[in-house]
Chain A
Amino acid sequence: MKKTILIMLCTFSLSAFAGEITVKVSGMVCSLCAQGIKKKYSEIEAVKEVKVNLDTKLVHIQTKDGMDVSDTQINNLIKEAGYNVVSIERK
């Protein structure tokens, strides 16, 4: 019983750290060129999944459990991909 509770606590506490980051990006009009965004974020260990939406100009980043990507890192990666960050929102 104690073991079960311990496992549940560990699971919930790790899940609490998994997060979703939504980045609004300007200049993202070409899907070919924006492939760089996906490539750059996919190289980051903390990133589980990256989705780019050209309609909303948003990049959705899902981080791995217990890991995070800093605002500075987000800004740098978007800049390296050739774009500008408008806003960063975390859930």
Chain B
Amino acid sequence: MFKNLVGIFWLVFTASAAAHPVIFNDGIVVSSSNMESYSDNQLLYTFTNKWSTGVNHWRFSQGKEITELGLVRLNHLLWRRNADDSQANIYLLSGIGMMDSENDAQGTSEAYMGGFEFDWETRTLFTALKHYYFSGPSLADFSMTQMRIGVSPFEAGFEELQSWLMLQVMYMPEVDSTIVVTPMLRFFYKNVLWEFGSSTRGEWMLNLMVHY
């Protein structure tokens, strides 16, 4: 019973990072997610309403050791449900490129990334779950899971400022056993979204995303 409840909670009250993997046809999305422990910068072009491609740079910092990945991305909108007052999506995420680590044992090599993202939102509720898996010949495989829940105190109009109170939970079990919880504020106005917050271990977070 408890496991079921945890499972339901996981699925319903979870979330993703700031980036939208696939937007409208012929749309470009630029996004930057930044914490002290990692950064994720993406430039994606949606070439049909179900597929996008682009470039993605990751930077992971574990103590003084920094690992960077440069990937060419291919994302797919696997499933979407448009309801009257909500929208739900499942995306498949992939990337291939190179990694570079300050760790001599890892050095420079090819790198691969796979993952998925689920989100469900109304005008005042937002939930999402994102999972990434990173691998490569000389890369110690690791994963990143991000969950989010958000509440907006009011329904803003189409060209009005929308405000959200968000909570992000991030877990990278192969890198750090700590579950990082980050309360944050999210705003969006027209085609620009920005978020900022601070984690329970004092890490700042700053995210920005623009749709063109």
A residues neighboring B (CB under 8 Å):
26-37, 39-40, 51-55, 57, 79-84
CB neighbours of A28 from chain B (8 A): 82, 87
Mask, B79-91, CB within 8 Å of A = 1, is 0111111110000
CB of B9 within 8 Å of the partner chain? no
Cβ of B80 and Cβ of A31 under 8 Å apart? no
* Interface set, chain B 150-165, CB cutoff 8 A to A: 155-160, 162
Which residue of the partner chain B has the closest CB to A27? B82
Main secondary structure of the interface of B (DSSP, over half): loop
Instruction: Indicate whether A33 sits within 8 Å of B123 (C-beta atoms), given known contacts A26-B82, A27-B83, A39-B27.
Output: no
Least Cβ–Cβ distance between A64 and chain B, in angstroms: 22
Q: 13 extra interchain contacts, Cβ-Cβ under 8 A, other than A27-B87, A54-B155, A54-B156?
A: A27-B82, A31-B157, A33-B24, A33-B87, A33-B211, A36-B24, A36-B211, A54-B157, A54-B158, A57-B84, A80-B49, A81-B25, A84-B82
In the complex, which residue of chain B has the Cβ closest to the Cβ of A84?
B82
Q: Does B188 sit at the interface, judged by CB under 8 A?
A: yes
**Minimum C-beta distance from B155 to chain A (A):** 7
> Is B23 an interface position by the 8 A CB rule?
yes
Residues in A neighbouring B23, C-beta threshold 8 A: 33, 36, 82
- Interface extent on B, as a size class? 20 to 34
Q: Is the CB of B82 within 8 A of A55?
A: no
Please indicate the chain A residues that have their CB under 8 angstroms from the CB of B121 in the complex: 29-30
The 7 closest A-B pairs by CB, nearest first: A27-B82, A36-B24, A80-B25, A27-B87, A26-B82, A52-B158, A81-B24
Q: Does B170 contact A (CB under 8 A)?
A: no
Q: Are A35 and B191 in contact (CB under 8 A)?
A: yes
CA distance A19 to B192 in the complex (A): 32
| CB interface residues, B 184-209, toward A, < 8 Å | 188, 190-193
Q: Once the chains are docked, how many angstroms separate the CA of A40 from the CA of B140?
A: 44
**B residues within 8 A CB of A55?**
155, 157
Interface pairs (11), CB distance under 8 Å: A28-B82, A29-B122, A32-B211, A36-B24, A39-B24, A40-B24, A52-B158, A53-B157, A54-B155, A54-B157, A54-B158
Q: Give B147 Cβ to nearest chain A Cβ, in Å.
A: 19
Q: Is the CB of A31 within 8 A of B24?
A: no
Q: Does B20 belong to the interface (CB within 8 Å)? A: yes
A26 near B84 with CB under 8 A, answer yes
Which of chain A's residues have a CB closer than 8 A to the CB of B77? Answer: 82
CA gap between A52 and B122 in the complex, in Å: 17
